Amino acid sequence: MSRGSRAQGSRSSLLNSQENEQLEELLGRRCASMATAVAQLFMSLPHSPSTWSLQHTGVVCFIKDNLQRSYFIRMFDLKTGRQVWEQEVYNQIVYSSPRPFFHTFAADIELLCLDPHLKEVHNIFLF
C-alpha cells in the first residue's frame, strides 16, 4: 500500500452504498475492515456484574489498523458519525460463544457481548 492510500475493506450488505462510504471515512486512510456487521454491544458493568446492559447499537468492524500495527474491534454510530467503542485484539484475548451469534470476551474493564441482528457479525469472530 502506498503512503496516504486508502486501505481496502469489507463492506456490509446490510448498509447502503452511502452508509458504506461513510464508514470508510470513519475508518480513516490506514485502516481496513476485515469484516463488518450491524450489532448491539452489551456490557457487564462492575456495579452489576450479573446483568447485561445494552450500551450501543451500530456497525461493528474487525479492523486492521496499519498505523498502529494492530487489530481492533470497533463500533461506529453512523447517525452521529463517530466511533463509540473500541477493543484491541491481543493474543491472549479470551473469547467464547455461549449461544449461536452471541459472542463474549473480556475487555479492558468489563465483560462484553456482541449480539448481532443478523448472521453477518459471526464472520468477525472467525479470525
Go through 47-85 and write b for each residue having 16 or more CB atoms within 10 A of its CB, e for each that does not: eeeeebeebebbbbbbbbbeeeeebbbbbbebeeeebbb
DSSP label of 9: -
The CATH code of the domain that includes 66 is 2.30.29.30
6: in domain: no
**Which run of H or of E encompasses 64?**
strand 53-65
121: in domain: yes
Mean pLDDT of 104-108: 71
d(CA 75, CA 81): 11
1: in domain: no
Q: How many domains does the chain have?
A: 1
The model's pTM is: 0.78
92: in domain: yes
Q: Which domain holds residue 95?
A: 17-126
3: in domain: no
Supply φ then ψ for residue 64, to 5 degrees: -95, 115
Q: What pLDDT, in 10s, does the model give residues 79-102?
A: 999 999 998 988 887 777 777 667
Helix (H, G, I), strand (E, B) or coil at 100: coil
4: in domain: no
9: in domain: no
82: in domain: yes
